[in-house]
Structure formats: structure tokens, C-alpha cells
Chains A and B, each alone.
Chain A
């Protein structure tokens, strides 16, 4: 019989809820040293709300979640991959031809809007006139005007669907390389870049599978994590006009990909996978270099400020998938979604030192698989989205 080692997480969960503070580390009994942490600063305790959001109508189910954002009214916007990420044979029988199920299920529309109570209040997404709907959506952001921004992040050889949805003679659709802006209701407003027109690192017009996105309302600029070109690109949020771009450490992005991440090697001079970009109230730009396990911080003009390595020994897809800033005036905490370690790191923003973690691996409430999106509402509650087979949105209430 296997010996059971219950980590600290389990003890805290025994009260029924995931609550995490400064002195806890989910996997300490297993392997590896504890990450750097400050005993002086506590992570805000949070607890999972297992009954958020409300069940979707129409036997709709979520596909792999690629983005979560909260607007000024506390409404939560979710982007997910829909049918392309769901098993056509076993999971979405209502939309098979002929239907293979009588009751459940069908993929939900790819953009969902929940009110603060978790009730689905609107849904949209899909091809339309005047724009190119992504093969796979990536990040989502809602700007202060209420406009919804979505990146087109599909991989170059993305299959048209699992479980036999792709036609035998299907021509691969043009590669995602663009950003879309819609009204809150899903009315098309603006497209930056063109699908199939894949830009290099110095392009002022073309993107390459952009992932994360954020809007700086002060300057009316949209920041794009241009993953495939290993850079951050900034555009005018109204016109889409190119403003500037930069790579790791504020240097020009290099067309050559760095070698795969090696924790023992010197830090890469280029980004590997830029998966997020977030602008703070004090106008610092936080960039996820996912496969390099690091956050880099810049001024809005691209001047490099600092970096922090999170979970240095993580391999695979890396540890820094998405970032959100806490809701307090000073945005004193940074939440880092780590979809490889199945946790959300909590950092002090001033030092970028880790002060806690939320969650561990699994399918139950407060657990994660591939947590790749994180957002915070005005009250400080945390929302997470899980990609791959996680396929959930979860809410963590701040206590």
C-alpha cells in the first residue's frame, strides 16, 4: 500500500475551502526547494466559490478556456475554444449529425459574459462580416469604454477539430495573426493584422499568433503579447495604428528562437513565448515570458525595469502563463497563473517575491489543470480560466 503524504494544502482544504497564506506550499513534501518568499507580507487569503458560475443554459459546455477578463461592472468575460477543443464523439453529441445524444451537450458560443453572480447574461462570437474570427481565440480584455479585445492565437497547424470534424480535403485555414475589437455586445469594431499574413519581429502591421492583450486607457493604447514574434507591440486603441514594439530586456526581437529553456543556463536574451502583457495603474508593463518562467517589467515606452523568475525548475510549457494585479489602489500583489504547475502564485509587486500560492492539480473546485488565465474584479475576487482539458472558469473570493 502506498504511504499517504498530505501536503499543507490538504490540511487547509479540510475546512472545506482552499485558503492560502504566506507559510504554505502545496508540494513541499515532494521535491525541490521552496521558492523565495517573504514572511513579512501575507498573500490575501482566498477561498474557492465552488458554485460560480451558474450552470450554462442549453446544455452548453465550455471548451478550453483561453482568456478571462472583468469589466468595470464586475462582469466576467470568457473566451474559449469551443468545438475545436471538445470531443465530437463523446462530449458534444447534440451538434453531431445526426445528433448522437438526446440531452447533452453542445459547445457554448466562444465569448461568454457572466454577471457578478455568475449568471450568463450574454454570449457571442464566431465568423461575421468584415473580420476574421480566430481559429482559436487567445487572451481577452475589456477596456474602460466597454470594448472587448480578443487575440487570434491559433497554432500554425491547428487541427480543424478533434474527433473527425475536419473534412478529408480541408485546406488549412490561414494562420491566426491578428487582434479583434468588438463592442460589449459583440459588434465588430476593429481588426489589427490579417490572418495568414504572419509578421516578423520588426513588422509594424503584421502579428504572429498574439496571445495576451491589455488596454492602457490613459494613453488609449492596446498592448499585444505577440507570442509568435517574441515581442510586445503597442497600437492606438481607436485606429489600430502601430506605435512601438520591443523584445526581452527592451531590445529588438530576434527572428531566431532561443534554445529550449534550461534552468541551469544563463537567462535568454530573447523572449521564448510572450503569453501575456498587463499595464499597471502606475504604468508599468508586466510581460509573461511563459517558457522562460519569468516576468519582465517595463516602462510604457519599452524601457526595461526588472525581471523575476518564478518556479525556476519548471520545464514543459513553463510557469508564467498569465498575470493579474490585485484590486487595491497600489496593486500590491501580482497573481501568476502557472498552467504547468497547476497553481496561481501570489507575488509582492514591489519585489516580485512569492508570498503564497492558490490551488493545486486536480478536477475538483479550487484545483486546476492548465490554469492559463487570471483576472481580478474591483472587489479583489480572483477569476481563473483553465485551458487544455481543464475547461473551467473558477472564482476565488477574497476574504
Chain B
């Protein structure tokens, strides 16, 4: 591999020693051929030409939510207001340039990567979030949106053409992690079709998973780390050498439900996944890239599309890669991706989702600001670190 032929400067040597040690810890003896460091796992390949260019000179800002609907359309929510005036030059008065403009916050793409609808923003009868965050299309086709702005304490439901349906919680009204009326800067939504309940990763302010009725918004239940009652006491920054925190650290960044009824919660700055039953009973946890500081390593999850959802994909927007886990054991089998602005590279890969054929879609926040498509190439022998997965 190219990277082994380049001299590694001394300044990085320590970092690499730590990296190799971390890699060793992640070894999965059962599934890994130690001699070749190959493993059987899903293989992906980036589609560098997806999506098609946006119309109207539109640009995406920080892209902080993604979902796939029943028709395999890909839905993205981003933050138009994060596109600088310099870049949204055509939106200025007078225009600085003919290009470019801020795209509406909700974008729908078909499988060909064509943008087929775009909507979102302030409207009558609801409070559009200060800072969009998280999008889900449920089994009834309803589009859910959260928000992580300082005052965002609500989630919104829309039809697929952007008509307002309902708002649960009120902006500025968050009463903390034990409030059963409002939320605290919701990061992501996942609707359980069997029970018709919405699981809210709540969030950037609160330290809990909150479950509501998907039709009425009626509050059902909530819980914190290990199923504990959430406590908003500031527990300080994450310390990799300290015992695991008994509370989630904000943001609680995902709460997605598997086909066998397990809730996977992204405890982002704690670098851990916690797994629960639907009722909030703690099942198990797993740590990934445990020495990651700051933004943390566990940003979002998605499931493989085999009937059993054998694999769990985890987005790490700090280390700029995707982990492939065996869902049953939560062992990391393989990873792909690396830092950069080219296809298959990431800056702050934030949200991931799979479509019905198992293809993986990613969005990037901060200055990444892309939607990318990774083609599922089947389960096969792959390196444990697949690096940047380019077409051959």
C-alpha cells in the first residue's frame, strides 16, 4: 500500500504507535485471519459521481441528517445558513457573483442522484429549528426533523412535499432531561414501525433517549445511560482513563432500532454504543476508538440490509471513517474511509443510512458538506483497514 512506502516523520511516530496498539485491541480472533489481516465483512466502493450536480447553483451547508424512504429515495437535511456569504455569493445584495446560492434545507434525491425536491424553512404554524439536525422518513412516509440550536426543544413532522403536520415540544421550553413535554436539542429521530413510536436521540442538551407516540407525540418513556434516570449534572469532559460515565455525555447522537428490537444509542463523546431493549432495559455496550477526545467517535449508526441486519455501521466524524461491526458481538471487523476532500474521504462524516440494496450513504458536516454514496459489493474478504474505497 502506498502509505507504507512514505517515510513517517518522527513527529507522528508516537501517534502511530498508539494507533497500532489500538488496532491490536480491535482484533477479532474469531473472524480475522491474523496472517493476512483479512476479514469477512461487507465491502463498499465509493461512487465518485453521486449525486448529480445540484441545480440553480445551489450549495449544501453542514449536512447533518440523512434517511432513505420506502422508494429508496435519499433525503438529506443540511444547514443553508452555514454557507458563508462569500460562497453564497449570488444570494447577496447586490450579488457578489453569479454562483452560488444556498440550497433549501431538505433535499430529496432519487437513486440516480438527481435532486427531485427541495423545501424547508420557516412557515406558518410551527417553529423551524434554529439549527437543523437529524431527519427521518417513517413507515407512513412522514418526514421528521430535529434541531440542535440552543433553543431547539422540539421535533417537526412534514409530508414529503414539505407540508407541516405536527410539532412536538416548544422552542425555548426545554426543562431538561426529565421533562416529559419538551426535548433538549434533538439530534436524531428513528420511528419503530411495529409500535409506531418515535425514538428521539435527545440530544445536545438532554442526556437521554425519549420515546413518543409517532401519531400523537404523546410521551411514552425515557432513559439515560445504562437505563439510569438521566441527570443533567455536568460531569466534565471525557477522560479515556476514567471509569465509564454513568450518564450519557452530550450529544446523545443516535437512537436507532434494529429488526430484533434493540435500540442502538450513540453516546458520542463517550466513544461508546449502548444497546437497550425497547423499554429501556440496558443490554450491553461497546467502546470504539476509546482515546478519541473532543467530538468523540460514535456519531451515527446504520444497519446492513440482510434480513438479520448482521452488520452495524458506525460513522466516526472525528477519525474520518466508518466502522463495520458484527452486530451480535459489537466487534469491529473492518473500517473504511480516511480524511480528505476527495471521493471516499471524509471531513466530519456525520450521518449514515443504508438503502434497500445495502448501499451506504453518508453526509458530512463542518466543512465536509457532501452527500456520498458507497456501493455495497457484497460480504467478502476485506482488509481490516480498507482505507479509501475507490473503484478499481
Contacts and interface: CB of A to CB of B under 8 A. Distances in A.
B53 A362 contact: yes
Interface in B308-345: 316, 318-321, 335, 338-345
Contacts of B316: 103
B24 to A, nearest CB: 12
A89 B101 CA distance: 28
Contact of B321 (A58, A95, A103): A103
Interface in B1-36: 2-6, 8-9, 11-12, 15, 18-19, 22
A56 B340 contact: yes
Contacts of A361: 57, 59, 87, 99-100
Interface stretch (A205-213, A219-227, A236-244, A336-344): A336-344
Given A103-B320, A103-B321, A360-B57, A51 B48 contact: yes
Contacts of B2: 54-55, 57, 119-120
Interface residues on A, range: 35 or more
Contact of B95 (A10, A31, A104): A31
Nearest to A263: B94
B291 interface: yes
A316 B318 CA distance: 33
Given A316-B89, A360-B99, A51 B341 contact: no
B98 A341 contact: yes
B391 to A, nearest CB: 7
B57 to A, nearest CB: 6
Given A103-B320, A363-B341, A94 B15 contact: yes
B390 A51 contact: yes
Interface in B73-107: 86-87, 89-90, 94-101, 104
A104 B116 CA distance: 35
B236 interface: no
Interface stretch (A188-196, A321-329, A364-372): A364-372
A361 B101 CA distance: 9
B228 interface: no
Interface residues of B, number: 77
Contact of A104 (B11, B59, B338): B338
Interface string B155-174: 00000011000000000000
A146 interface: no
B3 A58 contact: yes
The majority secondary structure among interface residues of chain A is loop
A50 B48 contact: yes
Contacts of B15: 94-95, 99, 106
A362 B59 contact: yes
Contacts of B292: 93, 100-102
A31 B98 contact: yes
Contacts of A51: 48, 342-343, 390-391
A315 interface: yes
Contact of A91 (B49, B339, B388): B339
Contacts of A390: 341
A366 B366 CA distance: 21
B124 interface: no
Nearest to B340: A61
Contacts of A99: 15, 18, 291, 293
B281 interface: no
A30 interface: yes
A152 B226 CA distance: 55
25 contacts: A2-B104, A14-B52, A26-B98, A26-B99, A50-B343, A51-B390, A55-B340, A55-B345, A55-B387, A61-B340, A87-B367, A100-B318, A101-B289, A102-B319, A314-B98, A340-B86, A340-B89, A340-B97, A341-B89, A360-B53, A360-B99, A361-B57, A361-B59, A362-B100, A364-B370
